[in-house]
Amino acid sequence: MLGRVSLLPKSVARRSISSRRHASTKTIRDALEEVIPAKQARLKQLKTEHGQTVIGDIKVEHVVGGMRGLKAMLWESSVLDPMEGIRFHGLSIPECQKVLPAAPGGKEIIAESMLWLLMTSKTPTEAETRQLSRELAERGELPEYVVQLIDSLPQSLHPMTQLGMGVAALNKESKFAAAYERGIKKTEYWTYTLEDSMNLLARLPALAARIYRNVYNPGKPIPGVNKDLDLVGNYVNMLGYGSNHDLTEYLRLYIALHGDHEGGNASAHTAHLVGSTLSDPYLAYSAALFALAGPLHGLANQEVLRWQLNMQKEIGDNVSHDDIKEFLWRTLQSGQVVPGYGHGVLRSPDPRFMALQKFCETRPELLKDPVIQLVKKTYDVAPGVLKEHGKTKNPYPNVDAASGCVLYHYGLTQFKYYTVIFGVSRALGCLTQLVWARALGLPIERPKSLSMDVIDTLVKSP
């Protein structure tokens, strides 16, 4: 296993790895060792040749408006275009769905194939994907002290708070923190960061499932990690829904699509910021989870479903587009926003929303669900209402407009838990970037702040 050989001398590690795998496959560490030198050289060239090149203007609205839209962060794994949406190393979501391996017997992208793409910029083979699934499963059991910690928490404590606490507690296991304390070369930082990241990714399903059990099904047995299942297959099994193939497929797609969404969103940026201090991946990602728990970020998916159910309760199942239009206007005129619509970057329908809609369209039982029908009809009406209202830069749906409704259909009805699933998925991108930040030697993040007096002086100066 990668976790047991990476700390050995390189020649020994190589012999140990090669003796246990076919020559036609490689581990994710092998793949990284191939691509990191080229990325390091490219970054060095950019700094040397273009370090002083101006690529944007800083305006007062950037300083006082949350730095929105300011181009000031390196993030290698994905780029978000306002009109076409997210691309992962140049691949759109439909392109990823064509080329990234699914689970045995499944059709949807799985977390392992997306992780490989994010981490290496390469499309994994079927064999590499299966090897990565096996490796993560072998790392997937929780340490006993984390089990005891989660079991000791009050049932009323929000699941996201519990998830953040559990991830932070895993810091005791940090290979990076231990290696840094004894003294290692900067060129080795990424290898220990990878070790921590792989262990954290592997353990997130067991941690998240235990939180679900403790909060919603106290005392119910939790299956152990099955070495023959992929990451999400194990997660769904430990949640208690392992026999539901459609829910498993949906969560595979959901987690892969939520895995990364460039670096400027609050959770990704938080992981990057905390990681830049050389905090280990457990501490960095626990901070990201607490950012994700905010109502303006990851908590939005539960707010969408609550709003949709309130609409259904008020106007019934057999609703017309005019009924929805009237409800939308009542929402807006009461001073509330329409949850699930608008985005900090996008100015078109979120491709992730469209992919989830397509998933629903292939399953007749989902198309018959009144809540999912309501989501589709709302999409028909809401952009026009929001354009007429005139106060929304992007009147189109984001992924939250659909994601929770499918979970609700399949029986996962506990709203407060939805962001935990988001937290399991977003680790793919955040932890990838932590590995690359250490591989590229990125510095501590330290922007310059200004007071209003200084801003006044600057804008008035000739």
Are the C-beta atoms of residues 449 and 280 closer than 8 Å to each other?
Answer: no
Taking all residues of the chain, what is their mean pLDDT, rounded to a whole number?
Answer: 92
Residue with tokens 């950037």: 62
Beta partners for residue 397, in sequence order: 341
* Residue with the larger pLDDT of the pair 296 and 142: 142
Phi and psi (nearest 5°) for 81? -95, 135
Please tell me what DSSP assigns to residue 58: -
Q: How far apart, in whole angstroms, are the C-alpha atoms of residue 315 and residue 326?
A: 10
Comparing C-alpha atoms, which of 331, 455, 420 is closest to residue 150? 420
What's the start-to-end Cα distance of the chain, in Å? 63
Are the C-beta atoms of residues 366 and 372 closer than 8 Å to each other?
Answer: yes
218-250 tens-digit pLDDT: 999 999 999 999 999 999 999 999 999 999 999
Crossing angle of helices 351-361 and 400-409, in 10° steps, is 30
Q: How far apart, in whole angstroms, are the C-alpha atoms of residue 243 and residue 236?
A: 9
SS3 (DSSP) at 86: strand
DSSP H helices, 126-230, are 126-138, 144-152, 159-169, 175-182, 189-216
Phi and psi (nearest 5°) for 448? -90, 130
Instruction: Examine the pLDDT at 20 and tell me if it is beyond 50.
Output: no
Please state whether beta strands 85-88 and 78-81 pair in parallel, antiparallel, or not at all (unpaired). Answer: antiparallel
- Within 8 A by CB and 6+ apart from 279, the residues are 287
Instruction: Examine the pLDDT at 18 and tell me if it is beyond 80.
Output: no
354-392 tens-digit pLDDT: 999 999 999 999 999 999 999 999 999 999 999 999 888
- Within 8 A by CB and 6+ apart from 452, the residues are none
Are the C-beta atoms of residues 268 and 433 closer than 8 Å to each other?
Answer: yes
Catalytic residues: 297, 343, 400
Comparing C-alpha atoms, which of 87, 114, 121, 120 is closest to residue 100? 114
Report the b/e string of 175-212 with b at 16+ CB within 10 A.
bbbebeeeeeeeeebbbbbbbbbbbbbbbbbbbbbbbb
The full set of domain ranges for the chain reads: 61-462
98-135 tens-digit pLDDT: 999 999 999 999 999 999 999 999 999 999 999 999 99
Beta strands in 14-76 (DSSP E): none
SS3 (DSSP) at 78: strand
Q: How far apart, in whole angstroms, are the C-alpha atoms of residue 226 and residue 175?
A: 25
State which fold the 61-462 domain adopts: Citrate Synthase; domain 1 (1.10.580)
Phi and psi (nearest 5°) for 219? 85, -10
Report the b/e string of 73-107 with b at 16+ CB within 10 A.
bebbbbebeeeebbbbbebebeebbeebbbbeebe
Comparing C-alpha atoms, which of 88, 178, 123, 139 is closest to residue 428? 88
301-351 tens-digit pLDDT: 788 888 999 999 999 888 899 999 999 999 999 998 898 898 878 888 999
